[in-house]
Amino acid sequence: MQPFQLPEFYMPYPARLNPNLETARAHSKAWARSMEMIDVPQQGTMIWTEADLDAHDYALLCAYTHPDCDATELDLITDWYVWVFYFDDHFLELFKRTRDIPGARAYLDRLRLFMPVTGPITETPTNPVEAGLADLWQRTTPSMSGDWRRRFVESTKNLLDESLWELANIDAGRVSNPLEYIEMRRKVGGAPWSANLVEHAVGAEVPAVIAESRPMHVLRDTFSDAVHLRNDLFSYEREVLDEGELSNGVLVFEKFLDIDTQSAAESVNDLLTSRLHQFEHTTLTALPPLFDEHGVDPVGRLGVLAYVKGLQDWQSGGHEWHMRSSRYMNGGGAPGTGTLGGPTGLGTSAARIIPSLLATHEQRSRSFTHVPFAQVGDVSRPNPRMPFPIRSNPHLEQARENVISWGHAVGIIDEVPGLWDEERFRDYDLPLCAAGIHPDASADALDISSAWLAWGTYGDDYYPVFFRTAASYPAAKAQTERFSQLMPLDGEPTPEPVNALERGLLDLWQRTAGPMTLEARAQFRHAIEIMADSWVWELVNAYQNRIPDPVDYIEMRRRTFGSELTMSLSRIGHGRTVPPEVYRSRPVLAMENSAMDYACMINDIFSYQKEIQFEGEIHNLVLVVQNFFDTDAKTAMRIVGDLMDSRMREFEHVVATGLPALFADFDLGEDAQQTLLGYAEELRNWISGILAWHEGCRRYSEADLIRHFPESPGAPGAAGPVSPHLPSGLGTAAFRISPPAARPVESAPEPALATVPRGLPGAASQLGRVSEAVGVDASGQSAVTGTPGVAPTGVVSEVGRHAEVAGVDGSGPAALPHQPSGLGTAAARLKPVDESSAPSRPSAVDSGKPSIPRGFSGLGTAAARVTPPTRTAEVVAGH
């Protein structure tokens, strides 16, 4: 009897079968026999018989997942899958069942010798896994670029190496927490590896210029998560009940949520569906502007779209194979007849798609129908377990006064009336956080740390105020791009800063980056850039009133919280005692990610009422969990608390067991070991300092919220929640700021700061100069390229609206951007563009190249053409 009934899967794409199936079956069996994979015992254990290979039918898997490739390509792809499944079973029998960790490590180390990025293979294979890898490597890589080979080596190594993580968990009897599981399953599960092979199968590589971009990472990650979660549902019986495996998503949810197996399976399926929704959302909204931003040519665009289609084919084909293979829980599996189950003939794809869309409509729609400013009250939050002592820096009191002087000097205090004044700056008490994070820092170092925390927190508050509508998006992008110009790596000239954010950044960069090496400076700048980019990601979700997918939220939350900036500063302080590859190892990354997630969740449980009720926010894990499980805030808060506790236990586990194993694996000397142990101590201080700040500052209590945001629609006695069609989510903070009577903006008195030019205090002047700096003029045209930048009332008109907030004369209303640009702003929000006034583009005939469609068409893309409701202005500034 099956341990649970398979849930109803989201299946938006039809499964198709490659006509070369029988050829691939015959070829793969002959190849496996030549590699001694069938009917040849390994160390006295029979891994596969011919009957096993026939029953698994990997040729059917590949024929379903790669329906359009030719016979030769299908043979090659099938051989790769025969190899990877044989490796999985070979590793299971020889190492997982015997718990032979040293033997497993030596076995995996040798496999690296058969994957050279350049040059020939020089090692002689000693077992079927090595022989198969050597043969496949030589048949696959010559036709691919060096960039693809490097990515394929990385994904193959991850697939092989993380088998040790599974083995270590089995040996310790440890079930991972959901976040840890998702992260590690991507590597050990092999789907990123499959995504690389999709590029080979469709004959189109992802252009190197965008291969490491966030949208392409999201597509790979969502594809991977969906493939792995689907496999977990089908393989639960085999892995958990037969093999004693602990790395299965159903088991992880079952143990973490303390629910029955059927309920856990339904939750895993809901997460699978959410990841597929994220895949579709990214494809439709993020790829077109990504192509434009990086100037991807028509051939490259077609290649990426072919790759995306290949990933879709893999999802639907993989599901069909799981339903048929005897390897999985599916009622015994259907015979490998090579025909699709269910209705066949013309129109049968719709028979599968429509019910699937209807079944998941409620889950999808919940993410877009949140009503901001709801009265949530002071929801009881969990008591975070803190096993580390809370310390403080003796220079705290002086740092408090120094950061106030710095805030006046750069303009953070009072430059935008109603945003941060001195009273609020003191209430937020960022030096308290810095003192806990750096209890042993000098007075000067504590001042710099306090200022960095103030700058990041101010930026996080500033972006929603200044860029609160979709029309503000070009200005937000322009501002974000200017940050890089203010952080020179090697003495390059910098533009004159035009607002408090820019003045603060330039000052802090000069004080912090000066003593660094060029390499360290580049790493530090990158950490700041990804934090600023994450603020833009939040804006885009707010424009769409879209509650993020839970996995995407957690991963982006580390960036919006500025965690990687802090980690970067710590690593730079370690010097060169630790090799760079050690910082990329699984134990160090697990230690960092668990610490970051714990700290981010501290913020989310403390700020829930502030963000949801008083700010109309959507970026809070309690809300994300509430939306995903369709539950109440109290239950969601409890789940987040349990997740915090599991991440803390993971952190402790990694430090206690992972680091000593890492020292042995890399044969690290005493200095490197002490540096990493010191890094763990820094992270302990970081976590405990952040908790102490949340408990000690005056930013989150209900009394402080009423005092800080008296005109919020969510304040007690206010009119109440507003329609979700009004401006909502991150960006609605602007509605709390009453425009003051027109008056000159006076410079606040402060000590001179020679390294920071004062710039202009007015918002209109600030963003107007930003617009000039990036070449966008008042007509909305790019002065550099001559192509439309924004609509005729674009950036500069939006500046006028910002100016009204700041008490500076501005001009009329802003319009939506003329063309979609940046992550997520495109198809989902804009009217079809009247292109009569747009510059002509070369036709396919003129250019001799295939033309690219401007958007997407077909099932599910109608939303891309829907005109959003008109947003009224009554809510602005408390009116």
Q: Are 640 and 625 in contact (CB under 8 A)?
A: yes
pLDDT tens-digit series, residues 597-644: 999 999 999 999 999 999 999 999 999 999 999 999 999 999 999 999
In this structure, of 487-491, 497-501, 788-792, the range with the lowest mean pLDDT score is 788-792
Closest listed residue to residue 564, CA positions, set 576, 575, 556, 573: 556
Helix (H, G, I), strand (E, B) or coil at 565: helix
The position carrying tokens 């005092």 is: 707
Q: In this predicted model, which residue has the larger pLDDT, 68 or 839?
A: 68
Give the model's confidence band at 806: pLDDT under 50 very low, under 70 low, under 90 confident, else very high: very low
* 493-500 mean pLDDT: 96
Q: Which of 19-23, 279-283, 347-351, 831-835 has the lowest mean pLDDT?
A: 831-835
Please check whether residue 255 lies inside any domain of the structure.
Answer: yes
For residues 800 and 321, which has the higher predicted lDDT (pLDDT)? Answer: 321
Average pLDDT over the chain, rounded to an integer: 80
Q: Judge whether residue 772 has pLDDT over 90.
A: no
Any idea which of 10-14, 598-602, 692-696, 805-809 has the lowest mean pLDDT?
Answer: 805-809
Query: Which three-class secondary structure state does DSSP give residue 788?
Result: strand
pLDDT at 121 over 90: yes
Average pLDDT estimate for 357-374: 84
Over 70: is that where the pLDDT of 219 sits?
yes
Structure token pair of residue 874: 């009554």
Question: Of 138-152, 327-341, 400-414, 556-570, which has the strongest mean pLDDT?
Answer: 400-414
CA 676, CA 816: separation in Å to the nearest integer?
A: 49
SS3 333: coil
- 857 falls in which pLDDT band (50, 70, 90)? very low
- Name the more confident of 330 and 483: 483
Nearest to 171 by CA among 507, 637, 661, 859: 661
Q: Say whether pTM exceeds 0.95.
A: no
Check residue 736 and give its pLDDT. 39
Q: Which pLDDT band holds residue 356 (cuts at 50, 70, 90)?
A: low
Q: Which two tokens stand for residue 610?
A: 């502030």
In a domain, 822, yes or no: no
437 found inside a domain = no
Q: Which domain holds residue 292?
A: 21-340+350-366
**Is the sign of the CA dihedral 707, 712, 717, 721 positive or negative?**
negative
pLDDT band at 729 (very low <50, low <70, confident <90, very high): very low
Question: Given this model, what pLDDT does residue 720 score?
Answer: 61
Q: Indicate whether 805 pLDDT > 70.
A: no
**Residue 50 located in a structural domain:** yes
Confidence of residue 838 (pLDDT cuts 50, 70, 90): very low
- The pLDDT of residue 735 is 38
- pLDDT, residue 500, reads 97
**Span 97-101, mean pLDDT?**
81
Core vs surface per residue 730-751: b (16+ CB within 10 A) or e: bbbbbbbbbbeeeeebeebebe
Q: For position 750, what pLDDT does the model report?
A: 35
The position carrying tokens 């569906």 is 273
Given a cut of 90, whether residue 833 has pLDDT beyond it is: no
Q: What is the pLDDT of residue 818?
A: 33
| Identity of residue 162 | E
pLDDT at 241: 85
Other Cβ atoms less than 10 A from the Cβ of 354: the count is: 12
Which pLDDT does position 417 carry in this prediction?
A: 86
> What are the backbone dihedrals phi and psi of residue 134, each rounded to the nearest 5 degrees, phi first?
-60, -45
Amino acid at 153: V
Q: Is the pLDDT of residue 737 over 80?
A: no
Q: How far is residue 428's CA from residue 407's CA, in Å, rounded to a whole number?
A: 13
Question: Among 85-89, 401-405, 409-413, 829-833, which is the least confidently predicted range?
Answer: 829-833
Pairwise pLDDT comparison (182 vs 98), residue with the higher score: 182
So what's the pLDDT on residue 640?
Answer: 97
pLDDT at 186 (0 to 100):
84
> Domain for residue 853, yes or no?
no
User: Is residue 770 scored above 80 in pLDDT?
Assistant: no
Q: How far is CA 712 from CA 465, 626, 874, 878, in A?
A: 13, 23, 13, 7
Percent of the chain that is helix, strand, coil (3-state, to 5): 60, 0, 40
Which pLDDT score is estimated for 751?
Answer: 33
DSSP sequence for 82-109: HHHHHHHHHHIIIIITTT-HHHHHHHHH
Cα angle 279, 285, 287; round to 5 = 80
Q: Which of 101-115, 637-651, 713-727 has the lowest mean pLDDT?
A: 713-727
CB contact at 8 A, 198 and 144: no
Share of the chain above pLDDT 70, in %: 77
128: domain CATH number is: 1.10.600.10
**Given CA atoms 494, 499, 503, 506 in this order, what sign does their dihedral have?**
negative
Report the Cα–Cα distance between both ends of the chain, in Å, rounded: 64
Reply yes or no on whether the pLDDT at 197 is more than 80. yes
pLDDT reported for residue 330? 64
The residue-averaged pLDDT of 15-35 equals 96
Amino acid at 386: M
Residue 368, pLDDT > 50, answer: yes
Confidence band (pLDDT; 50, 70, 90) for 572? low
C-alpha 284/C-alpha 821 separation (Å) is 12
Helical axes 795-806 vs 763-773, angle rounded to 10°: 160
Per-residue pLDDT, 853: 33
Q: Measure Cα distances from 725 to 285, 370, 736, 867, 872 in Å.
A: 19, 10, 18, 12, 9
Q: Is the pLDDT of residue 337 over 80?
A: no
CB-based burial, 528-559: b 16+ in 10 Å, e otherwise? bbbbbbbbbbbbbbbbbbbbbbbbbbbbbbbb
The count of domains in the chain is 1
Confidence bin at 352 (pLDDT 50/70/90): low
Q: Does residue 279 register a pLDDT over 80?
A: yes
Which ranges of 126-162 does DSSP label H, i.e. alpha helix?
A: 128-140, 146-161
The model's confidence at residue 721, banded by pLDDT at 50, 70 and 90, is: low
- The residue type found at 487 is M
Please check the confidence at residue 25 and state whether its pLDDT lies above 60.
yes
Mean pLDDT of 227-246: 88
Average pLDDT estimate for 378-404: 96
Q: Residue 360 has what pLDDT?
A: 75
**Res 581: pLDDT:** 87
Write down the pLDDT at residue 613. 95
Q: What is the pLDDT of residues 430-477, one digit of tens each?
A: 999 999 999 999 999 999 999 999 999 999 999 998 898 999 999 999
- Which range, of 20-34, 352-366, 407-421, 556-570, averages the lowest pLDDT? 352-366
Name the token pair of 824: 């997520």
